[in-house]
Chain A
């Protein structure tokens, strides 16, 4: 089975975690994804290897960027009409607060799905969803399989 077929099968059975488990880097970060209501929420489970500033301590900015990018990719993989592997063209991250050493959640919302590119905006939060730690927007190249 090709990767796209495996992804299509995981998507058809609504087993989004299976789809995410196909991506090694998602495992390295400790990402899980699950539907909560009508939203696909990606969780980055806290681990000591995610720390960027041990003095505070605070999460590495790269981990928040990776979580935000992944949340957008998962949204596209799980909920877009066709299964495709989106390629990130550009990603812009705003760091709003320092990331505490706890679980972090993220959500991607498609703002426009075109034939070739899709625009997504993302948000990551910890204990208080109204106080995001980082927001981002990204443009993906979405080539039909």
Chain B
């Protein structure tokens, strides 16, 4: 995957971790961004646990991570920064996240029309084959633009 310019990487990082209070509160950080993909990391934190007996993360934290990564993938695919809004997000939870380890979300925007962007994303641990959740989403683009498939 082609890397974005340092300037774009910096803009994305600001937009998605430092500039977004909830991402900051979760400790989400951007790992990589290209015109077709965005990777975010959610570090393990005891405050995000959903099952205190097993120490696994709550699904809500994974939802926030996938939403953030999917939105970033749309931004990365846009020729210019325009406001976007999540229309819908469907998440399949394949298995619980193993406690003590970060979760990485890799999202791509695979289709963009004038008004809607379509995304898919995976959340995994250790390696991309170890998938814990999978999502598909749609985003509304609030500014008119030409149709483009990244």
Interface positions of A (Cβ within 8 A of B): 2-3, 22-29, 48-54, 59-63, 65-67, 69-70, 85, 87-95, 98
Question: Smallest CB-CB separation from A135: which chain B residue?
Answer: B88
With A and B bound together, what is the CA distance between A88 and B86 in angstroms? Answer: 21
Q: Is the CB of A28 within 8 A of B64?
A: no
A85 is contacted by which of B25, B46, B51, B85 (Cβ under 8 Å)?
B51
* Residue B9 is within 8 A (CB to CB) of chain A in the complex: no
Q: Mind listing 22 A-B residue pairs with CB under 8 Å?
A: A3-B51, A23-B50, A23-B52, A23-B58, A24-B52, A29-B60, A49-B24, A60-B20, A60-B22, A60-B64, A62-B61, A62-B66, A62-B67, A65-B67, A70-B60, A89-B93, A90-B93, A91-B63, A91-B90, A95-B85, A95-B87, A95-B88
Question: Smallest CB-CB separation from A49: which chain B residue?
Answer: B25
Mark B124-136 against chain A: 1 for CB-CB distance below 8 A, else 0.
Answer: 0000000000000
Interface size grouping (class) on chain B: 35 or more
* Residue B47 is within 8 A (CB to CB) of chain A in the complex: yes
Interface positions of B (Cβ within 8 A of A): 19-26, 46-53, 57-61, 63-68, 71, 85-93, 96
Given contacts A62-B67, A89-B92, contact A25 B20 (CB under 8 A): no
A61 is contacted by which of B52, B89, B90 (Cβ under 8 Å)?
B89
Given contacts A62-B60, A62-B67, A91-B63, contact A25 B50 (CB under 8 A): yes
Given contacts A51-B21, A94-B87, A98-B85, contact A25 B49 (CB under 8 A): yes
Question: Smallest CB-CB separation from A57: which chain B residue?
Answer: B21
Given contacts A93-B89, A95-B88, contact A66 B58 (CB under 8 A): yes
